[in-house]
Chains A and B, each alone.
Chain A
Amino acid sequence: EVQLVQSGAEVKKPGESLKISCKGSGYSFSTNWIAWVRQMPGRGLEWMGVIYPGNSDTTYSPSFQGQVTISADKSISAAYLQWSSLKASDTAIYYCARLNFIGGPFDPWGQGTLVSVSS
């Protein structure tokens, strides 16, 4: 079974750093893209960026460029999303999802990681 399992919920203060993970199984992790998608409370889905774990080729949405860093470690089939200095506006659920190719559908999705940032 193709599966993406994300790390657990986080509660952070503004200015803190954070790295959340997404671990794939049941397929060739290196040869499929991983996308990150943000969903703010009560809001819709926003595409953040994608990474190809095979060579770490990464593309960011202009809205998130410079705000987050996407990385991957193909040796352990994991992708990461990290912040160096969190803001309250980063409070959201973050999903990872697999892409067979750029242009293809997001499938499957991880269960989501809730990030809460508050002083």
Chain B
Amino acid sequence: DTAVSQTPKYLVTQMGNDKSIKCEQNLGHDTMYWYKQDSKKFLKIMFSYNNKELIINETVPNRFSPKSPDKAHLNLHINSLELGDSAVYFCASSQRESGETQYFGPGTRLLVL
């Protein structure tokens, strides 16, 4: 059973388009995250939700809007995609807000042309 799953795995799109990435966890965790990993493998947190409530928003442009319909799902919608948005986006979850042990999804590789 996959603990944290993301769809799609690959996303190739044109500049200016709007796209969404979906994430689901079946671990029963309270907290979910979105991370961005750039071409140099630097991993940076974007958002964190605890029990569907936004608790971390790390100066991410307004074009990025996370949505958590329930504790098991955290989706990421990106408007007006830019070349610099090309990266790998990881979803993760942890049992508690303190996030000591995080379980990561397989990643979504986004390429903006």
Q: Do A and B come from one complex?
A: no
Chain A positions within 8 Å of B, measured between CB atoms, are: none
